[in-house]
Structure 1
Amino acid sequence: MAVKDIMDALRGETLEDIGLKENLAQLVKDIKLIGSELDVLLYTPKKGLEDILRAKVQNALSDVPDVKKVNVKFTETPPQQAQQGAQIPTGQPAFTKRKVPGVKHLIAVGSGKGGVGKSTVAANLALALAKLGYRVGLLDADIYGPSVPTLLGLKGTRATVNERNRIVPAEKFGIKVLSIGFMLPSEDTPVIWRGPMLMKALTQFLFDVDWGELDYLILDLPPGTGDVQLTLAQNVDISGAVVVTTPQDVALADVKKATSMFKEVQIPVLGVIENMAYFICPSDSQKYYIFGKGKTAEFASAYGLKILGSIPIDPEVSERSDKGEPIVVENPESEVAKAFYGIARIVTQELS
């Protein structure tokens, strides 16, 4: 759900009956939506109005889909817009976003749909950054389909907790790694969780983990534009997002939604990675654009985005990924690995 729907509902509740010229939306200092539970921080112009305002908020949001519980807290500090005397914007308010302790840059890797190689890109991007000398972590936030344990040869790894009751990430190929797969009895065990439980787990994976000091923490998001992406965007300080696509029209159509989602929640999109962009024939070394050429460039141009890099199709990537041997580590001179190194350098430049 877009936060704009919530703000629109609050905007429709006037306060003239209690002597205030504002509507409820104009009193909102902050707002957070986690699953179906909504927290609202409301400015009170006069003391003694708390119970009335709480009832009005709950009444205004009673018909808003997916909001099952509303918690209202109060502050005597007015919203920034009111302090400046400016008109209240019609969009969403500023969110209080938490920064992961010790992490300089948190990069979200997302895609509009599954099957575009997003997790492979996230893992190899993290490894390329590490090979360039940075301190890197990789968080597998694809709760329903964790693939990072397979990609990095960490099947069977179990998460541990230190003396401070913080989760200790695994370490492989010079990066710190955490995945829900480390907490399941087997890779065949399904995760059947609703939104609130899902978000609680992801929050723990970010803030209750002993990540140490990291230059980059790569966040491998689930595909699509659902509750996980929206809630993380609202509550976590994310430096930027990378969107992965393939050249087909069906993939690009969904990438447009993912890009719009990141922009709506005010996360800067660092650029687009075109995966499976072309095939280099071993016999003649020519590039063959199996899925078409130029469509990703047209999309990036239309949305004002940078193409961070194009990664070729190579059967070796799939073979090594299944064995837990990432291409960046096992064959750094391959065209695919060189593409990842190039992307990693551009990402560091964008964030610097």
Structure 2
Amino acid sequence: MPRVWDVPVHDSTRVRDARVAAEAAATLAGLDSARTAAASLVATELATNLLKHTRGGQLLVEIVPAPAPADRASPVSFVQIAAIDHGPGIADVPAALSDGFSTASSLGAGLGTCRRVADDFALHSVPGRGTVALARVGARPRAAAPAGLRAGGVNVPFGGAETSGDAWAWVRSGERTTLMLADGLGHGPEAARASTAAVDALHASAHLTPAECLRHLDTALRGTRGAAVAVAQVDSGAQLLRFAGIGNIGARLQEGDRWRALLCRPGIVGVHRPGTLREDRMPWAAGHLLIMHSDGLPSRWTPPADPGVLCADPAVVAAVTLRDAGSAARPVRDDTAVAVLAPTPRDRR
């Protein structure tokens, strides 16, 4: 089930909670003692930064798929640590990432060390709007992203629960790369069981088109409470994006300077599947980017406008989208997941 540690960092006791969460996630992901220590250091430093420089923020620790899925191979997991805040931002990001630049009362490691010990590290900050710092730590160095594509996401359980009813995953088969987001009906353990069943079924469906995949998932989710599911697939050889979805999953495709909304059909996968499934097809080009999200995100959210965000790690794009779409005036009423599929930086040009 999608296990997520959502740690609000507003006082010094929460720094310890962040470290404990990272160590628990590392154990669950099967990391050895050295990589567990790396995850612990990163979580402690990022939590300390939130406390000292932003008057608090949110630290999300979760186990995520590898940024580069192997061809029909067993999934590889990473511990992902995301620090999200609405603080003053960082005026000089390169200086903040340099070795020796450390926060007061921290471990003295600094963000530069965090970047070095993590398998992936990304930092996006805008003065006056806030910062997202994100790291992934795995059992072994990751492979390069296949077919010029990469994916990432963030997941927030409702009400600080241990498990989220939302889940995302991605798989590859030849030139087809498929991203799926599932939102189990409601929230809690039974919703998580439905979305986990969708993830498990996806790994046996890498060769199928999105519409075919949804039919397969509909059978796999029988016996669960069902889920809303969207499936997007990029055929790198044909430069084609296919999309199909059932239920209340939002999706927007960036096409140069404009965004296109992609629509899902009404229904519940595993409970009530439409008799016919529409599969949208459209060109996929180097400048495109796809954001999918569950209904925990407000329907009327504004896509990130900063080109620096859209060229960032997909999980950073997801975290910024989540942060900027929410506010205290719009409390979250459900689990919330955001997943992003994008070209690698060299292929966005």
Q: Would the TM-score normalized by the shorter structure come out above 0.5?
A: no
TM-score, scaled relative to structure 2:
0.27
User: Which has a greater percent of strand?
Assistant: 2
Higher RCO (C-alpha under 8 Å, 6+ residues apart): 1
TM-score, scaled relative to structure 1:
0.26
User: Which has a greater percent of helix?
Assistant: 1
